[in-house]
């Protein structure tokens, strides 16, 4: 009945299949073994919005169970079709597609890469930015966190899509739902802990609250000791100056990270960028007696 011309019937068929699939691996495998997936994927282009939504829900329910079931959807070409669906949909119709990409990426590095390659991160970033509803933004934040948490390569793919400032904005927004704040914070931490792409981290040095800032500074402290080009850029981009302005509790992890970064530079360079140094310098200029 998947290809029945009656759209209302097709809606119910896909709804029934997703209700069967969601309970267990065995039931999901029975649905997959019915060899319906090529037809299912074409129905993501159905003219009826609710048929499309129920198809995306069915794919989500299958993907979430195991990496093996997720891989079957990847092998059938399902990821590209779902990424297109997320790009073309809006609101609650978009939601199951967003969640499917998150469940897929959560399983493994390879499956997360299968979301990155067809520009899945870009579509999720757009959804995070343009959706007005908190619960849809929360799903997009969660999905991006699942993609970025695996390796530096994965986190870079998320970071270069300019996702980190947007996640921070969702976390700090006063009127955001608790769920959106929680998922944005978790996604930020997941991505930051793997991210060594410093240009994407630098804006967060200026805007992040202490509990997020700790993770940002921690990543700089991992990279700067081993990368002379990055050390130079960190000075010219005012990053080193910003580090000197951070008030860290003595003995805290943040203080340790700051010490590690400062130890990458000559003492006079660190002093130069420390708060109040320009005033000290001016005093010395005023007091200086030139030799005659």
pLDDT in tens, 109-134: 999 999 999 999 999 999 999 999 99
Q: Give the torsion through C-alpha atoms of 94, 96, 101, 103, to 10 deg.
A: 160
What SS3 state is found at 195?
coil
* Alpha-carbon span 134 to 99, nearest angstrom: 14
Q: Which of 87, 151, 150, 160 is nearest to 118 (CA)?
A: 87
User: Which pLDDT does position 211 carry in this prediction?
Assistant: 86
d(CA 50, CA 52): 5
Q: What are phi and psi of 30, to 5 degrees?
A: -60, -40
> What letter does residue 225 receive in the DSSP assignment?
G
Q: Secondary structure of the chain: what % helix, strand, coil (to 5)?
A: 75, 0, 25
- Contact between residue 86 and residue 94 where contact means Cβ atoms under 8 Å apart: yes
In this predicted structure, what is the pLDDT of residue 285? 58
183: its two tokens? 């998922």
**Token pair in block for residue 222:** 């991992």
* Mean pLDDT lowest among 19-33, 76-90, 153-167, 267-281: 267-281
Q: Residue 177: how many CA atoms within 13 Å on its side-chain side?
A: 12
In angstroms, the CA 35 to CA 92 distance is 28
Which pTM was predicted? 0.87
Cβ atoms of 33 and 27 within 8 Å: the answer is no
In this structure, are residues 88 and 44 in contact, taking their beta carbons and an 8 Å threshold?
no
How far is C-alpha 267 from the geometric centre of its chain's CA atoms? Answer: 36
pLDDT in tens, 172-194: 999 999 999 999 999 999 999 89
Q: Residue 69: what pLDDT?
A: 93
Helix axes 78-88, 67-75, angle to 10 degrees: 80
Q: What per-residue confidence (pLDDT) applies to 190?
A: 92
Query: What pLDDT is attached to residue 238?
Result: 85
Question: Is it the case that residue 23 has pLDDT exceeding 90?
Answer: yes
Give the helix/strand (H/E) hosting 113.
helix 109-116
**Tokens standing for 77?**
């070409």
Measured CA distances, 286 to 114, 268, 276, 281, 282 (Å): 63, 20, 16, 9, 6
Q: What is the mean pLDDT of residues 35-44?
A: 85
Query: Residues 6 or more apart from 14 whose CB is under 8 A from it?
Result: 2, 40, 43, 51, 54, 55, 57, 58
CA gap 3, 5 in Å, rounded: 6
pLDDT of residue 258 exceeding 90: yes
Q: What is the pLDDT of residues 199-234, one digit of tens each?
A: 888 888 888 888 889 999 999 999 999 999 999 999
The rounded distance, in Å, linking the Cα atoms of 64 and 203 is: 34
Q: Is the pLDDT of residue 19 over 90?
A: yes
Residue 286: what pLDDT?
61
């Amino acid at each position: 009945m998947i290809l029945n011309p009656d759209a209302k019937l097709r809606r119910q068929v896909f709804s029934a299949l997703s209700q069967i699939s969601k309970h267990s691996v065995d039931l999901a495998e029975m649905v997959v073994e019915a060899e319906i997936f090529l037809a299912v994927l074409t129905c993501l282009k159905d003219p009826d919005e609710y048929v499309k939504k129920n198809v995306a829900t069915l794919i989500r329910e299958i993907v979430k169970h195991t990496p093996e079931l997720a891989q079957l959807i990847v092998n059938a070409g399902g990821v590209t079709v779902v990424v297109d669906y997320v790009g073309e949909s809006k609101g609650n119709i978009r939601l199951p597609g967003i969640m499917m990409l998150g469940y897929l990426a959560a399983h493994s590095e390879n499956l997360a890469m299968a979301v990155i390659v067809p520009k899945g991160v870009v579509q999720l970033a757009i959804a995070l930015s343009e959706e007005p509803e908190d619960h849809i933004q929360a799903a997009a934040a969660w999905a991006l966190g699942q993609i970025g948490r695996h390796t530096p390569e994965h986190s870079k793919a998320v970071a270069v899509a300019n996702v980190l400032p947007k996640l921070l904005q969702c976390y700090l927004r006063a009127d955001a739902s608790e769920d959106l704040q929680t998922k944005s914070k978790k996604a930020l931490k997941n991505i930051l802990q793997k991210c060594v792409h410093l240009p994407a981290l630098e804006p967060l040095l200026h805007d992040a609250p202490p509990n997020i800032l700790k993770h940002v500074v921690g990543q700089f402290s991992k990279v700067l000791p081993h990368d002379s080009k990055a050390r130079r850029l960190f000075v010219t981009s005012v990053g080193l100056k910003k580090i000197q302005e951070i008030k860290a509790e003595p003995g805290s992890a943040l203080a340790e990270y700051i010490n590690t970064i400062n130890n990458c530079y000559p003492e006079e360079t660190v002093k130069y960028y420390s708060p109040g140094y320009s005033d000290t310098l001016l005093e010395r200029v005023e007091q200086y007696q030139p030799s005659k």
